[in-house]
């Protein structure tokens, strides 16, 4: 018994829970020599493989595990949720969580809880002993309570998470970062375990999930980073042993993961699949806008001065138009003269102001602005009563950009002044895809259908014919992206869309009366859902393997006061298929794995309890919260949970 228990004279049993996010039980069972401490915990207590929840996503799993109830009660279904009556989505945080956490029940009994690094707990609660929020929190200063706790975490350089972006760029650096995060978690956990002033300690290692996402396939296939993977997990196991050794005799240790893990073969963009099957469409006629001027800038063929303060008369001669020229603007007295002026400006651009054999200076049009002003009518010599009456004038102004280089944009063509520039444009632009442009490695949709090259007076005009999914643009602005998406979010779906998906594998019908622009009548809901569910069960990957392990409806998976925002269908994938969503572009539904080569699984999560009487049979995440309460001798009503105690 610890010092604080002797001071308090407390006899109530305590629990220390340690989360190992995403660690599959088979990893431990298949490598007992690498996991000596976890194997001993299981052998001396109880342990085994358990199921996760639907959907097996950390942001939904940890709320379920810590409360013992399903997302219909917690109100959290994934990293991105949406409310009925809106296409707006949000990232659920603690205030979106609607159930009662296990540490809230501990606090209600007048006992203390220390909570560290749990997903969906930002902002930290102020009615527990201490808390630092986990993944997706904005930073330590706002994520830890009380002040002395935050000060301690700051002193050890507590990181909010492993930098997963490094896994795509440099796996060696990523692995180093994962170790640093793991080490800091262990340092803080041991510090407060040794302080021994709590009744429930609840801490989560999440770097395990990060490492699995980028190295799990290496482990399973004994590939490049297999040894680094095992080295990381030897440390995880050693740290679990150190924590177990540090616990007082009145503390029961519980170790669990929120889902399993397996190797990733294909990422599956469910929205792309829905689109292929005719269930999803978007409001715009095209998917992409390829900005040619920005492409030339990024390719190094043109320097663009978007702030060029040129005059409009560098484009057109005002004397040739039925307008006046005042303060750099064309002034028209009639709509006809205004329209003629605008047309003349647009026809004139671009204008070559200087040119050599291998370079040109060109003025291009960024924008035409028409300012309508009300002015007094001129006085009449005939005194016909017009005095004081008003008329409209139209002031036409432009924003110009100055382009210097070996190529420039003219309408739907690139004018190249050298053979090298011509060849580079043809070679690189002709095969352009979002992936080749570095925008999205998973999107290999062709952007250009063909190029036509003609020679005129020593220059080469490369006319660009976009694909049906692509529009061309020529915006020279410095912030203009080479590739722009015409649809990027849920609100961009078409009125006639039947269904859409949010990650992971959550599918919603575009239901009339629930969605703002619902297309599926309520009396057709069951029929449409059944048809779509059947199609999802038949979905196959590139090699003919079925994608779906389970296809469940909202009524089968969710119940509670917040089931109204639940998805209509959830697909739990077979191993190897990671279900994504996203609303950008027109990508292939199936994209082979890249640097990220591991994925969550519904089955094969881990549970170990330092109690040899615990039952580990037909168990899922919902059983953990009531088990912790029973281990702590805290009463509850059996019907309060979707699971049951294992002790």
What's the pLDDT tens digit per position in 112-129? 999 999 999 999 999 999
Say if residue 110 is exposed, middle or buried (CB neighbours under 10 Å; 0-12, 13-18, 19+).
exposed
Beta bridge pairs of residue 590: 268
**DSSP strands (E only) in 419-563:** 448-456, 459-466, 470-473, 483-485, 499-502, 506-509, 548-553
Residue 360, pLDDT score = 87
User: Could you tell me the pTM of the whole model?
Assistant: 0.89
Looking at the chain, the domain(s) classified CATH 3.40.720.10 span 3-47+101-264+596-611
Q: Sheet of 506-509: strands edge to edge?
A: 499-502, 506-509, 569-573, 548-553
* Tokens read off for 78: 């994934």
Q: Does position 528 have pLDDT exceeding 80, yes or no?
A: yes
* Tokens read off for 496: 């006639």
Q: Greater confidence, 43 or 401?
A: 43
* Tokens read off for 416: 């190249």
Lowest-pLDDT range of 107-121, 371-385, 490-504: 371-385
Over range 127-154, report the average pLDDT. 97
Beta bridge pairs of residue 49: 606
Q: Does position 614 have pLDDT exceeding 70, yes or no?
A: yes
Tell me the CB-side half-sphere exposure of residue 480, using CA atoms within 13 A: 22
Q: Does position 2 have pLDDT exceeding 70, yes or no?
A: no
Residue 375, pLDDT score = 85
H helices present in 124-249, as ranges: 140-143, 147-155, 166-169, 171-195, 207-220, 226-246
Give, in words, the CATH class of 3-47+101-264+596-611. Answer: alpha beta
Q: Cα dist. 220→217, 229, 494, 598, 600 in Å?
A: 5, 10, 42, 10, 14
579 pLDDT band (50/70/90 cuts)?
Answer: very high
* Tokens read off for 366: 């960024």
Architecture in CATH for domain 269-283+495-592:
2-Layer Sandwich (3.30)
Q: Say how far apart CA 552 and CA 535 lie, in whole Å.
A: 13
* Tokens read off for 325: 């020229």
The residue with tokens 């090699």 is 543
* Tokens read off for 465: 């014919």
C-alpha triplet 454, 458, 460: angle, nearest 5°: 35
Over range 297-313, report the average pLDDT. 88
pLDDT in tens, 453-484: 999 888 999 999 999 999 999 998 888 999 99
Contact 483, 292 (CB under 8 A): no
Residue 8, pLDDT score = 43
Looking at the chain, the domain(s) classified CATH 3.30.1360 span 269-283+495-592
Residue 10, pLDDT score = 62
């Amino acid at each position: 018994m610890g010092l604080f228990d002797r001071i308090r004279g407390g006899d109530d049993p305590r629990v220390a829970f340690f989360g190992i996010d995403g660690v599959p039980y088979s990893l431990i069972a298949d490598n007992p020599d690498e996991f000596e401490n976890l194997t001993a915990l299981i052998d001396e207590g109880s342990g085994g493989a358990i199921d996760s929840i639907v959907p097996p996503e950390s942001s939904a799993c940890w709320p379920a595990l810590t409360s013992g109830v399903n997302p219909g009660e917690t109100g959290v279904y994934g990293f991105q949720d949406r409310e009925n009556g809106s296409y707006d989505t949000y990232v659920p945080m603690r205030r979106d969580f609607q159930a009662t956490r296990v540490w809230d029940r501990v606090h209600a009994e007048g006992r203390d809880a220390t909570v560290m690094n749990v997903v969906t707990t930002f902002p930290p609660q102020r009615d527990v002993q201490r808390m630092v929020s986990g993944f997706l929190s904005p930073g330590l200063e706002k994520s830890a309570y009380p002040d002395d706790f935050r000060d301690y975490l700051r002193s050890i350089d507590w990181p909010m998470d492993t930098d997963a972006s490094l896994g795509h760029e440099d796996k060696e650096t990523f692995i180093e970062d994962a170790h640093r995060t793991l080490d800091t978690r262990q340092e803080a956990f041991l510090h407060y375990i040794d302080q021994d002033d709590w009744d429930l300690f609840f801490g989560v290692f999440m770097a395990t999930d990060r490492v699995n996402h980028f190295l799990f396939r290496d482990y399973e296939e004994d590939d490049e980073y297999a040894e680094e993977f095992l080295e990381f997990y030897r440390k995880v196991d050693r740290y679990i042993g150190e924590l177990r050794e540090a616990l007082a005799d009145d503390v029961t240790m519980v170790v669990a993961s929120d889902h399993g893990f397996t190797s990733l073969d294909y990422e599956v963009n469910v929205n792309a699949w829905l689109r292929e099957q005719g269930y999803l469409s978007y409001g715009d006629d095209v998917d992409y806008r390829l900005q040619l001027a920005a492409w030339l800038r990024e390719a190094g063929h043109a320097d663009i001065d978007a702030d060029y303060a040129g005059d409009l008369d560098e484009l057109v001669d005002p004397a040739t138009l039925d307008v006046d020229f005042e303060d750099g603007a064309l002034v028209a007295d009639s709509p006809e003269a205004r329209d003629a002026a605008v047309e003349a400006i647009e026809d004139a651009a671009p204008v070559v102001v200087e040119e050599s054999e291998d370079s040109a200076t060109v003025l291009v049009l960024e924008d035409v602005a028409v300012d309508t002003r009300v002015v007094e009518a001129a006085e009449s010599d005939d005194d016909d009563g017009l005095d004081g009456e008003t008329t409209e004038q139209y002031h036409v102004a432009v924003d110009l950009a100055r382009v210097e280089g070996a190529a420039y944009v003219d309408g739907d063509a690139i004018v190249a002044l050298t053979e090298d520039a011509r060849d580079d444009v043809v070679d690189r632009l002709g095969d352009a895809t979002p992936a080749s442009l570095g925008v999205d490695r998973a999107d290999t949709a062709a952007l250009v259908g063909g190029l036509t090259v003609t020679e005129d007076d020593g220059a080469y005009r490369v006319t660009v014919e976009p694909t049906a999914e692509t529009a061309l643009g020529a915006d020279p602005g410095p912030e203009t992206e080479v590739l722009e998406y015409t649809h990027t979010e849920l609100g961009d779906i078409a009125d006639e869309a039947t269904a859409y998906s949010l990650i992971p594998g959550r599918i919603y019908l575009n239901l009339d009366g629930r969605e703002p622009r619902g297309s599926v009548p309520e009396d057709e809901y069951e029929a449409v859902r059944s048809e779509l569910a059947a199609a999802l069960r038949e979905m196959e990957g590139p090699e003919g393997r079925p994608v779906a392990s389970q296809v469940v409806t909202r009524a089968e998976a969710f119940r509670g006061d917040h089931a109204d925002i639940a998805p209509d269908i959830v697909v739990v994938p077979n191993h190897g298929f990671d279900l994504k969503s996203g609303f950008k572009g027109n990508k292939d539904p199936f994209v082979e794995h890249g640097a990220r080569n591991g994925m969550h699984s519904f089955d094969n999560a881990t549970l170990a309890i330092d109690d040899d009487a615990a039952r580990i049979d037909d168990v899922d995440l919902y059983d953990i919260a009531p088990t912790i309460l029973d281990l702590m001798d805290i009463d509850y009503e059996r019907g309060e949970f979707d699971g049951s105690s294992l002790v």
